[in-house]
Amino acid sequence: MTDSDLTLKVLVEMRDELRGFRTDFNQRVERLEHHAVQTNQRLERVEHHAAQTNLRLEVVEHTLVDFGAQVVILGRHMKNSSTRHDHDVERHDDEIADLRTRVEKLETKS
C-alpha cells in the first residue's frame, strides 16, 4: 500500500466515523427534543393545576376574610349587649317602675 492509499483509507475511516457520530448525535438530539416536549407538557399540566389551586385558595381567602369580619361584628355586638344589659336588676326595676308611672299618668289624662 502506498502512502496515498493509506491516507485515503484513513480519511475514509474518519469520514465513516464522523457519519456514525453524526447519526448517533442526531438520534440523541431527537431523544432530547422528545424529552423536552414531554417536560413541557408536564409543566403545562403543573401550571394548570397551580392555576386551579390558586382559584380555590382565593375562594378560601375570601371566605376567611368574610368570616373574620363577621367574628368582629359578633364580638362588638356581644360587647354592646353585655354593657347594655349588665344585669343590674335594680336599675331595670327602677326603669320599669318609671314606665308604669308614666303610663298611669297618661291613662289618667285620657
pLDDT score, position 83: 67
Q: What is the pTM of this model?
A: 0.51
- 68 grid coordinates: 373574620
**What is the model's pLDDT at position 89?**
66
Tens of pLDDT, residue by residue, the chain (110 residues): 788 888 999 999 999 999 999 999 999 999 999 999 999 999 999 999 999 999 999 999 999 999 999 999 999 888 877 666 556 667 778 888 999 999 998 888 86
C-alpha cell of residue 20: 456514525
51: which 3 cell numbers? 392555576
Which residues in 11-23 are b (16+ Cβ under 10 Å) and which e?
eeeeeeeeeeeee
